[in-house]
Amino acid sequence: MSRRFVVEADGGSRGNPGPAGYGALVRDADTGRVLAERAASVGRATNNVAEYGGLVAGLQAALDLDPQAEVEVKMDSKLVVEQMSGRWKVKHPDMQKLALQARALARQLGGVRYTWVPRAQNAAADALANSAMDGRPVHRDAAAEPSTVEDDVQPVAEPAPPVTTVLHLLRHGRTEHTPERRYSGRNDLPLSATGRAEAEAAALRAKELGIEVVVASPLRRTRETAEVVAAALGLPVRLDDDLVELDFGGLEGLTAEEARTRHPLAARRFAGDVTVPAPGGESVADVAARVQRARERLLREHAGRTVLVVSHVTPIKLLLAAGLGVGLEVVHRVFLEAASLCTVAWSSDGRSAVRLLNDTAHLR
């Protein structure tokens, strides 16, 4: 009887197009055991190209394990599944090449079918893709199963139930730049009197949320906000450099109108493309990479706990984007008030849910 494998594959791009990578793994369909894992960067590419890269890597890994195997490919990319199933045409030149590679590999296997799954059911491949985008490639093959005497077979333990970690995302209170909507990145402005009052109001709200950990950007406005809230909760403040605001470079301190006047081309490109940095500063995609690190660290170090994250507009929007499973462009489509509160819940099984967005009830 032919062996049966499940290939789980995914890909991602921070910027779309932007720095991209894929992840893929092969499971034994009968036992669920992971037999092979692959993750690698594909340079600058789109999500779809990266997803095809994951498919090719997964099929190659399955072929290396057993050319006679019957394979079910599971992906959360409707596009790739429909194209590889022959129901949709492949139009993009880069994807055409990868689709041909995938079909050539599939023909060498005992049989391949494609199944679309929700993103939450593709968490393992997604994690591998993120590892690749973080510069951590993976090429692992499981050791051969040890032979056992039938009487010595141990029962398989039930998987642990998923753990939910709740991140409450608090934007800092107002500074002198806030009312005029000035680009405020790496400056170290303190809270204004209004901003301190907002922090105190947020502290009263925080007492209702069961917060166990307070983590903040080290910039002064976030640190001061966090210290007010943490004092009310009787908790220390932990600082995380990856949560600082986008570096606006030459746009720092300017209004959007002033930026367009002084840096017309650079300001327009920065506002229109998440992969383009501010002149002398960062891009949204740059910030997304470090916010991803911060998120993974928070979920790893504080699994199952309720955490208050005190940060800035861009990092908070990017955490929301990750929770929603949408692209980085969402940063231009969400507005966050000073001292507003958002909430995202993350489950250890890969699911996430945005529970609260731009809530300012505590400021009224």
Domain boundary among 110, 142, 174: 142
187 and 135 in a single domain? The answer is no
Average pLDDT over residues 241-255: 95
Is residue 156 predicted with pLDDT exceeding 60? no
- Establish if 280 belongs to a structural domain: yes
Per the CB < 8 A criterion, the answer to whether 164 and 346 are in contact is yes
Tell me, what's the pLDDT at 158?
Answer: 58
CB-count exposure of residue 149 (10 Å: 0-12, 13-18, 19+): exposed
Is residue 295 predicted with pLDDT exceeding 50? yes
Is residue 305 predicted with pLDDT exceeding 60? yes
Is residue 335 predicted with pLDDT exceeding 90? yes
% of the chain surpassing 70 pLDDT: 95
Q: Which residues contact 15 (CB under 8 A, 6 or more apart)?
A: 44, 274, 275, 283, 284, 285, 288, 328
- In this predicted model, which residue has the larger pLDDT, 86 or 146? 86
Confidence band of 209 (pLDDT split at 50, 70, 90): very high
Tell me, what's the pLDDT at 239?
Answer: 96
- Is 245 in the active site? yes
Average pLDDT over residues 239-256: 95
In this structure, of 13-17, 84-88, 184-188, 276-280, the range with the lowest mean pLDDT score is: 13-17
- Establish if 150 belongs to a structural domain: no
111 and 211 in a single domain? The answer is no
- Establish if 88 belongs to a structural domain: yes
Nearest to 225 by CA among 243, 242, 208: 243
**Which among 8, 168, 172, 263 is annotated as catalytic?**
172
**Domain hosting residue 329, numbered range:** 164-363
CATH code where residue 330 lies: 3.40.50.1240
Q: What is the DSSP string of 35-57?
A: EEEEEEEEEEE-HHHHHHHHHHH
Confidence band of 143 (pLDDT split at 50, 70, 90): low
- Is 224 in the active site? no
- The CA distances from residue 272 to 266, 282, 317, in Å, are 10, 14, 17
d(CA 249, CA 183): 10
Tell me, what's the pLDDT at 152?
Answer: 47
Is residue 144 predicted with pLDDT exceeding 50? no
137 and 185 in a single domain? The answer is no
Backbone angles phi, psi at 288, to 5 degrees: -60, -35
d(CA 276, CA 283): 5
239 and 297 in a single domain? The answer is yes
Tell me, what's the pLDDT at 160?
Answer: 61
Tell me, what's the pLDDT at 153?
Answer: 47
Tell me, what's the pLDDT at 60?
Answer: 94
d(CA 75, CA 116): 5
Tell me, what's the pLDDT at 15?
Answer: 83
- Establish if 149 belongs to a structural domain: no
Average pLDDT over residues 308-332: 93
Write out the E strands in the chain.
4-13, 18-28, 34-45, 70-75, 111-116, 138-141, 164-171, 213-216, 237-239, 306-311, 341-347, 352-359
Confidence band of 95 (pLDDT split at 50, 70, 90): confident
- In this predicted model, which residue has the larger pLDDT, 1 or 226? 226
218 and 128 in a single domain? The answer is no
d(CA 237, CA 224): 10
CATH code where residue 72 lies: 3.30.420.10
Count the domains in the chain.
2
**Which among 8, 51, 198, 245 is annotated as catalytic?**
245
Tell me, what's the pLDDT at 348?
Answer: 84
115 and 177 in a single domain? The answer is no
Domain boundary among 142, 177, 198: 142
Confidence band of 214 (pLDDT split at 50, 70, 90): very high
173 and 128 in a single domain? The answer is no
The pTM score is: 0.60
Tell me, what's the pLDDT at 29?
Answer: 92
118 and 171 in a single domain? The answer is no
- Establish if 218 belongs to a structural domain: yes
Domain boundary among 112, 142, 172: 142
191 and 240 in a single domain? The answer is yes
In this structure, of 140-154, 169-183, 322-336, the range with the lowest mean pLDDT score is: 140-154
- Establish if 356 belongs to a structural domain: yes
Average pLDDT over residues 328-335: 91
Per the CB < 8 A criterion, the answer to whether 141 and 94 are in contact is no
Amino acid at residue number 78: K
Q: What is the DSSP string of 215-263?
A: EE-SSHHHHHHHHHHHHHHT--EEE-GGGSPP--GGGTT--HHHHHHHS
Is residue 154 predicted with pLDDT exceeding 60? no
Nearest to 74 by CA among 42, 27, 109: 27
- Establish if 285 belongs to a structural domain: yes
Tell me, what's the pLDDT at 2?
Answer: 80
Backbone angles phi, psi at 242, to 5 degrees: -70, -10
197 and 64 in a single domain? The answer is no
Is residue 157 predicted with pLDDT exceeding 80? no
109 and 179 in a single domain? The answer is no
% of the chain surpassing 90 pLDDT: 76
10 and 138 in a single domain? The answer is yes
- Establish if 303 belongs to a structural domain: yes
